[in-house]
Amino acid sequence: MVALSELKTWFARHRDKIREAYFQFLKIPSISADPVHRPDCLRCAKWLVDFFKKAEWHAEAIETETLPIVFAEDLTAGPDRPTVLIYGHYDVQPVDPLQLWKSPPFEPTEREGSIYARGAVDDKGQIFYAICALQCWKELGRPLPVNVKFCIEGEEEFNSTGLFQMLPRLKSKLKADELLIVDFDSYAPNVPAVSLGARGMFALELTLRGSNTDLHSGVHGGIAYNPNRALVELLAKLWDAQGRVQVPGFYDGVEEPSPEDLRAFESAHKKEYYTERFGIEAFGGEKGRSVHEANCFRPTLELNGIFGGYTGAGIKTVIPAASHAKITCRLVPGQDPVKIGDAVIEFIKSHVVKGMRLELVRHKGEPAFRGSLDSKLCRAVAAASEEATGNKCRYLLSGGSIPVVSQLAKATGAQVVGMGYGLLDDAIHAPNERFDMHRFEQGFLTVGRALSLL
Amino acid sequence: MVALSELKTWFARHRDKIREAYFQFLKIPSISADPVHRPDCLRCAKWLVDFFKKAEWHAEAIETETLPIVFAEDLTAGPDRPTVLIYGHYDVQPVDPLQLWKSPPFEPTEREGSIYARGAVDDKGQIFYAICALQCWKELGRPLPVNVKFCIEGEEEFNSTGLFQMLPRLKSKLKADELLIVDFDSYAPNVPAVSLGARGMFALELTLRGSNTDLHSGVHGGIAYNPNRALVELLAKLWDAQGRVQVPGFYDGVEEPSPEDLRAFESAHKKEYYTERFGIEAFGGEKGRSVHEANCFRPTLELNGIFGGYTGAGIKTVIPAASHAKITCRLVPGQDPVKIGDAVIEFIKSHVVKGMRLELVRHKGEPAFRGSLDSKLCRAVAAASEEATGNKCRYLLSGGSIPVVSQLAKATGAQVVGMGYGLLDDAIHAPNERFDMHRFEQGFLTVGRALSLL
């Protein structure tokens, strides 16, 4: 056991050293999406492995065909005790547009109590407080009540290719009873949250091609079927006036949220928030569904991009050769991404204008995941977060997706719990990403105390 | 009178000199859309005025707020004789993409019988053969049977701003009985055509704005109404399943083509041509209308551009802040561009999703124009073109637009006739624009003989 006061004292004493190591971690530009930064990603993985080893963990970088996975374990609790697998990632998002950063993204800078750097919160800050919490236990010489494993991948911001590929071979290595995903948000400042799910995803790119070249819209207007018209007519059929997706089978297996779920899970934001914060007056989703239901319990189909023809200034009288759409579906438990993909494609094929050539690029889908309110880890993290913040923990379901989690849970056989101290204003994936040492400490305390409660 | 044989002899004797002057004209990069080329446009206007003056025309550059109009006249036929106003333009389209040109666009180059240069046909080549035909009459010392005026503007490829602005003040100067627009195509190689109309145009840019920033389509998906969805739903309402534009009043005043019109006017291309040449299998327009009717006698509404959200490679999970469309209508006689514009905007306003902000940029519209098969000039040009080519002249209505013609005809009080020896393969507005001295001569002979027949 480690008491809250012990964790606090240790953190206060080691604060400067923790901050220094955290900054070293942040300084490595481990942008997974950019091949130029491959050496930085490798260096970042090595830095983490070295950090674990210095703290006397058994740690290694597991090679994949793309970027290594950092793995560390402490199995001293013994085979009779449960195992907790902690997941995070050491890669970060690209930094464009660079000119909007007030300080360089890989030179962590403190301003008005916030630490500004790419990865400050997502996910270097979050995974690092978890590592520090374990380090505290070790330095205090307390025997861990559970076996602990870390799986820190380097491609979460890209596509988790390496982890997906290696999962079948890592089954026994990653085997665990509980899976802690340290990559989520709080409910609000100083109001902690446990996240027990995220939506799955299916993605599709679509092109309608009418002619082999752009045509003059006067000379040929009225003859060629304009692919832009064919596209809007096709895509408009995807919803009815009530906002329900019209693809047959789309809602198959989707369960109505139970009264317990609706009570247990809270929505961080209301309609008013969207109007005030983002100026939104038009709400989508299905008629009769609350913001909370729409975002947490219902699947969506979104047009992330549409484009065809002239997009510059003014007017150009062209009938484009082709028109394009990028579509993603967010999936809830009960929906199979393969079946949904088949159904969406079938719908599109059956509604496209005759003679218009259809080209599709289908991306790999991933199902939603859902943890249980009754898992031991869920209860431990919730209670620990309340100790760490002094406020009641809330339960959330994320509208977003962490594609690898569902398969990771399946491969390891573990129950999933998400935690984190991010906030909507942290500007993750955007310029001037930030975190602060106060929330870093809250995360540290939450992980440290949760171990005592398992 | 000048006989066909005299015109041919004169052309053969002066061929080298004509070609040299034509090349000088082509060498001036008079791109009206690019302010960088303003001095070139001014130089081009001056070159033309000087050319007219050397041939003892009364000629001048009429200043406008933008680029000058070259005006020349020979009124020696006297006030009892009709006046023919010949319209053309000395400006040319931009040359991008430059790397696709096989020879520099402003260094006229002959390859396999074709002269390659920007403006080779559109419209320097065409207006210049008309000027040469008049020069022939003068050099042969024959009295002109009609008064002749030239109006050669420098902004046809941009927006005809100067000519539009000056029209009210130029009414008496440009007054004419017949208006010859030398900026059209043949029916086919060696098959001449008289063009007796072009469609009008109305243009509109449209933006639907949902939020003040792009949103994550997972975190916020199901809440915000996606502007891309609102756009496709809105635009899809513009047509019914029969391809008829659904804007109330859109077809008001549109007359069915008479059997005489359908007989008189020919379509240069059939459906098969579109399939073979452009790979088109999907035909738009209204159900039950032939390609000929759709292109010549019916108005259209085209989506020249649609765009919103992510348009790069792969997938980005974004709900865009806004989605956009660029719309043009081609109008036929009987349609008022102002009324059509009002109706389209009213339709859009009444069908946009509640709460979605609508932003519109309305462009100035122009009506269609239509000449008469029975005008003296029409009959003269047709007969002359048959002499020049040895083939029967066809009558065409263009699906495209020359916006200023309608107002020019109204201001001058003249009947309109279009002529020209362009071909679809001449690559006007594209790299490697071309014309040839054979068609140049056919144009020269047509104008030269038409004067004899008036």
The per-residue pLDDT of chain A, averaged, comes to: 95
| A427 and A328 part of one domain | no
A252 has a pLDDT exceeding 70: yes
Positions of chain B with pLDDT lower than 70, given as ranges: 268
From A310, A344, A362, give the residue that closes a domain.
Answer: A362
| A123 and A237 part of one domain | no
How many other CB atoms are there within 10 angstroms of residue A207's CB atom? 18
| B20 and B158 part of one domain | yes
Backbone angles phi, psi at A212, to 5 degrees: -90, 5
Q: By the CB < 8 Å criterion, does B240 face chain A?
A: no
Specify if B129 maps to a domain.
yes
| B166 and B30 part of one domain | yes
pLDDT at residue number A313: 85
Q: A117-137 pLDDT, tens per residue? A: 999 999 999 999 999 999 999
Q: By the CB < 8 Å criterion, does A201 face chain B?
A: yes
A417 has a pLDDT exceeding 70: yes
Q: By the CB < 8 Å criterion, does B254 face chain A?
A: no
| B239 and B343 part of one domain | yes
- b/e per residue B193-222 (b: at least 16 CB within 10 A): bbbbbbbbbbbbbbbbbbbeebbbbbbbbb
From B307, B338, B362, give the residue that closes a domain.
Answer: B362
Backbone angles phi, psi at A83, to 5 degrees: -120, 135
Q: B227-240 pLDDT, tens per residue? A: 999 999 999 999 99
Q: A78-111 pLDDT, tens per residue? A: 999 999 999 999 999 988 888 889 999 999 999 9
Q: By the CB < 8 Å criterion, does B292 face chain A?
A: no
CB contacts < 8 A (A, B): 283
Specify if B79 maps to a domain.
yes
Rounded CA separation B182/B385 (Å): 13
Specify if A108 maps to a domain.
yes
| Phi-psi category of residue B119: left, alpha or beta, with phi > 0 → left and psi -120 to 50 → alpha | left
Considering its fold, how many domains does chain A have in total?
2
Cα dihedral A247, A253, A259, A262 sign: negative
Contacts of B309 in chain A (CB under 8 A): 303-306, 326
| A122 and A235 part of one domain | no
pLDDT at residue number B285: 79
Q: Answer whether A309 sits within 8 Å of B326, measured CB to CB.
A: yes
CATH of the domain at B34: 3.40.630.10
| A341 and A408 part of one domain | no
Distance to chain A for B67, nearest Cα, Å: 20
Q: Answer whether B226 sits within 8 Å of A294, measured CB to CB.
A: no
Rounded CA separation B407/B368 (Å): 10
Q: Answer whether B291 sits within 8 Å of A235, measured CB to CB.
A: no
Length of chain B measured in residues: 454
Indicate the burial class of B27 (C-beta count within 10 angstroms; 0-12, 13-18, 19 or more): middle
| B205 and B193 part of one domain | no
Specify if A282 maps to a domain.
no
pLDDT at residue number A268: 65
B149 beta partners: B73, B85
Specify if A219 maps to a domain.
yes
Token pair of B387 as six digits: 């002499």
Q: By the CB < 8 Å criterion, does A159 face chain B?
A: no
Contacts of A426 in chain B (CB under 8 A): none
Contact B196, B446 (CB under 8 A): no
| B211 and B169 part of one domain | no
Q: A12-57 pLDDT, tens per residue? A: 999 999 999 999 999 999 999 899 999 999 999 999 999 999 999 9
Q: Sort strands B193-198 and B109-111 into parallel, antiparallel or unpaired.
A: unpaired
Token pair of A33 as six digits: 């999406």
Strand, coil or helix: B99: helix
| A216 and A185 part of one domain | no
Q: Answer whether B357 sits within 8 Å of A281, measured CB to CB.
A: yes
| A18 and A162 part of one domain | yes
Domain range for B328 = 200-254+299-362
Contacts of A223 in chain B (CB under 8 A): 274, 280, 283-285, 291, 294-295
Q: Mean per-residue pLDDT for A316-343?
A: 95
CATH of the domain at B225: 3.30.70.360
From A329, A362, A395, give the residue that closes a domain.
Answer: A362
A218 has a pLDDT exceeding 90: no
Specify if A260 maps to a domain.
no
Interface of A with B in 21-50 (CB under 8 A): none
- Closest Cβ–Cβ partner in B284, B303, B354 for A309: B303
| B321 and B224 part of one domain | yes
Rounded CA separation B69/B154 (Å): 6
Contact A372, A414 (CB under 8 A): no
ipTM of the complex: 0.89
Distance to chain B for A443, nearest Cα, Å: 22
Specify if A261 maps to a domain.
no
Specify if B282 maps to a domain.
no
pLDDT at residue number A216: 87
> One-letter amino acid identity for A317?
T
pLDDT band for position A233 (50/70/90)? very high
> What is the chain B residue with the closest CA to A284?
B225
pLDDT band for position A159 (50/70/90)? confident
